[in-house]
Amino acid sequence: MPAVRVEMLTVPECPNGPVLEERLAVVLADRPGVEVLHRVVEDQGAAGRLGMRGSPTLLVDGIDPFAAPGTPTSVSCRLYRTADGRVDGAPSVEELRRVLGQSGTPAAADPSTGPAGRGGRGRLAPVEGGHRAVQQAVLRSFAVVGRAPEAADLDRVTRPYGVPAAQVLAELAAEDFLTLDETGRIRAAYPFLATETDHVVHIAGGSSVWAMCAIDALGIPVMLGRDADITSTDPVTGRPIRVEFTGGRARWQPASAVVSHGVRAAGGPAASACCGYLRFFTDRATAAHWIEARPGLSGEILTQTQAERLGTAIFGPLLTTGIEQPG
């Protein structure tokens, strides 16, 4: 079974801490090798840094699987709602088994099911009507020359399908595979943006491109199967953040860096609903402060591993899955 990091956060002398500890012992009896790290949190600052949303809080691989999106950090007493509607001071054994199952995956909402991953439908365009052929042509153009292809080049791509490129682009935009400006030109094709952002990706042997968000930037090296150097800036401190991809492995600077995963309550396409809120931060405390300062924003903080996995899940298949030529 995959390794799982389990942390229990409590305030001093929390009466429900021993309850959670006992129930964890029952669940982990058949999970040898899983250790629980206990942390005592004494002030709000520490709660923000560690992600404690009341005492006791359980973190599984850095995620609180029992917290609703947007729940603020707190040193107050925490209550849990059971499956039958009762209130308890700790998750039940059944709920703990659910989040600490054999997969080791927390039951918190999978970020790839949000706008960044097109509501769980993924970002790989369908083959029909030349949609995937155009999507892949656009992505390859950004990767090689740093910009979207010319209209004539896309018309050649769609000619075998018997449809004009402008029609395919409009349909791709309607399904949130890319965005267009008022003239119909490509403004963005997830993960690339045609205009300047804080997230710059220098592709080894290729171009330097702007990514729409932190997750998009992390997905570019995986999507292309290339080494790359990502540079960005913490929006709170202004400090630089760098992620170097070499041979499929990432090295983060600073080592404490994290990624916010925020979603605007109003919804809409990813470009407006979440891209501005998927950002690099130098540490968890700075990210928590930034999220909490934005009313109406549902957010969580992703570890480096979680952010890399999300980028891979969303963008990894985009250029490795082929197309079928018509007739």
Q: Could you read off the pLDDT of 204-247 as tens digits, one per residue?
A: 988 899 999 999 999 999 999 999 999 999 999 999 999 999 99
State residue 8's pLDDT score. Answer: 94
**pLDDT digit string (tens) for 163-207?**
999 999 999 999 999 999 999 999 999 999 999 999 999 999 888
Whether the predicted pLDDT of 30 surpasses 70:
no
State residue 190's pLDDT score. Answer: 95
Whether the predicted pLDDT of 2 surpasses 60:
no
Query: Cα angle vertex 178, ends 326, 174, to 5°?
Result: 80
Among 82-86, 303-307, 323-327, the range of highest mean pLDDT: 303-307
What's the pLDDT band for 64 if we cut at 50, 70, 90?
confident
Whether the predicted pLDDT of 14 surpasses 80:
yes
Whether the predicted pLDDT of 301 surpasses 50:
yes
CA 185 – CA 173 distance, rounded (Å): 11
pTM reported for the whole predicted model: 0.67
State residue 104's pLDDT score. Answer: 36
State residue 219's pLDDT score. Answer: 95
**pLDDT digit string (tens) for 93-152?**
888 888 886 433 333 445 655 677 776 677 888 888 999 999 999 999 999 999 999 989
What mean pLDDT comes out for the span 276-303?
87
State residue 103's pLDDT score. Answer: 36
Structure tokens that stand for 156 in this block? 């050649």
Contacts of 235 (CB under 8 A, 6+ apart): 198, 279, 281, 290
State residue 113's pLDDT score. Answer: 55
State residue 267's pLDDT score. Answer: 57
State residue 121's pLDDT score. Answer: 73
Please give the mean pLDDT across all residues of the chain. 86
State residue 325's pLDDT score. Answer: 55
State residue 295's pLDDT score. Answer: 75
State residue 102's pLDDT score. Answer: 40
Whether the predicted pLDDT of 4 surpasses 80:
no
**pLDDT digit string (tens) for 246-276?**
998 999 999 999 999 887 765 567 887 788 8
**pLDDT digit string (tens) for 46-60?**
888 888 999 999 998
